[in-house]
Amino acid sequence: MLNFTLNELCAILGTTEYVGYTDVRLTNLNRIEHSSTGDITFFSNNKYLKYLKTTYASCVLIEKNNNTQPKDNQVFIKVDNPYVSFVQLIFLANEPEQNTFEIHPSTVIEQGAFVSAKASIGANCYIGKNVSIDEGVIIKSNCSIQQNVKIGKNTLIHSNVVIYKDCEIGDNCIIHSGVVIGADGFGYIENSDGSYSKIPQIGNVVIGNNVEIGANTTVDRSLIGSTYIRDGVKLDNLIQIAHNVEVGENSAMAAQVGVSGSAKIGKRNRLGGQVGIAGHLEIADDVIIMAQSGVAKSVTEKGIYFGSPIKDRITAFKIEAVIPQLPQIYKDINLIKKKLDIK
């Protein structure tokens, strides 16, 4: 809960520039279109100009070169970057409560498991044999951590997460509810009669440090060896990472991305929502693939790509611009053929 005077807020933001009403008490952060008395919001995009004129927020963070005047009982604080300053306040509002390290009595801990005295485990969790849980780890309720799993320092695992056997998770990770790590990869042999025989998946998943995995995302174990999620990777909700995939450091993927088996994603990749990547492909470092694109061959050069199959962004946009004209082009071609008596 926030509770600031104008002067206190300015001190936090490192500014003395403001205009408007000064006797305000600021207690909440909110979006500009939904703000009310006591709220702090920000304005940094002209698409929201109409809300700047109508918002009931008591305080709006604006750019220093913005000369818009506030309404009565409202103050505008001028900062270099309103969005960055607002995020600074979000961090302040989100300071975690001091954790008391304890293990809920309903938790089941199997023989040979190590749980640091400075770890916390919530109600109805299962900790399998030979699991290692390092200091600072917080595991919320109803999680299942199977045998031989290793969890590094200060990792947070939210409720209803399942981590299959032999998987490894690094330090300072955040794993959201519904995540499944280490389920079997999609591996089968097709028999002569059209039926399938399952291939045992005997590898694991290795997740690096400072990784965040969104709700209901799945990362499959490898056939052999490991599926790798490298340091700093950020995965949104509802993503599927298949067996033997490697995701390079500091790559990020938006919701509903699907990465097929044995694909290798480079460092610092950015994949938009619903991007699909076929199996056994390699994507270079520093690649951006825009939403709903389909990747059917390896990408060897950094750049921005779009389409299905993907093309460099400029070429793809030119193609998209022509597509609506195709019906008229078709009519024109037929008319020309008719006049030239071409069948």
User: Interhelix angle for 6-13 vs 82-93, to 10°?
Assistant: 110
pTM strictly above 0.85: yes
CA angle 289, 228, 118 (to 5 degrees): 120
Question: What is the rounded CA–CA span in Å between residue 206 and residue 241?
Answer: 12
pLDDT band, very low/low/confident/very high, at 100 (cuts 50, 70, 90): confident
Token pair for 38: 């006591």
Per-residue pLDDT at 9: 96
Name the band, by pLDDT with cuts 50, 70 and 90, for residue 310: very high
Whole-number pLDDT of residue 160: 98
- pLDDT for 31: 96
Strands lying side by side in the sheet with 28-29:
18-20, 75-79, 59-63, 39-42, 28-29
Q: Are 138 and 119 in contact (CB under 8 A)?
A: yes
**Predicted local distance difference test score (pLDDT) of residue 13:** 96
Average pLDDT, stretch 122-131? 98
Exactly one of 34, 104, 158, 243 is catalytic; name it.
243
Instruction: Please indicate whether residue 243 is annotated as part of the active site.
Output: yes
Given the structure tokens 């936090």, which residue do they identify? 12
Radius of gyration of the chain (CA): 27
Mean pLDDT on 205-211: 98
Dump pLDDT digits (tens) for 242-291. Answer: 999 999 999 999 999 999 999 999 999 999 999 999 999 999 999 999 99
- Checking if the pLDDT of 300 tops 70, the result is yes
Class of domain 4-93 as given by CATH: alpha beta
3-state secondary structure (DSSP) of residue 88: helix
pLDDT of residue 46: 93
Residue 343: predicted pLDDT: 73
Query: What is the band of 94 on the pLDDT scale with cuts at 50, 70, 90?
Result: confident
Within the chain, all domains assigned CATH 2.160.10.10 are found at: 161-309
Would you say 147 and 164 are in contact if contact means Cβ atoms under 8 Å apart?
no
Residue 97 confidence (pLDDT): 66
- In the predicted model, is pLDDT for residue 301 greater than 70? yes
pLDDT digits (tens, 9 = 90+) for 53-88: 999 999 999 999 999 999 999 999 999 999 999 999
Average pLDDT over residues 100-118: 94
CB 257 within 8 A of CB 269: no
Q: How far apart are CA 240 and CA 275, in angstroms?
A: 11
pLDDT in tens, 257-268: 999 999 999 999
* CATH code for the structural domain at 161-309: 2.160.10.10
Q: What is the mean pLDDT of the chain?
A: 96
pLDDT at 99 over 80: no
Residue 322 corresponds to which tokens in the numbers above?
């022509």
Indicate where the chain has its CATH 3.40.1390.10 domain(s): 4-93
Distance CA 248, CA 271 (A): 12
Q: What pLDDT score does 2 carry?
A: 86
Q: Is the pLDDT of residue 98 over 80?
A: no
Which residue is it, tokens 């991007």? 275
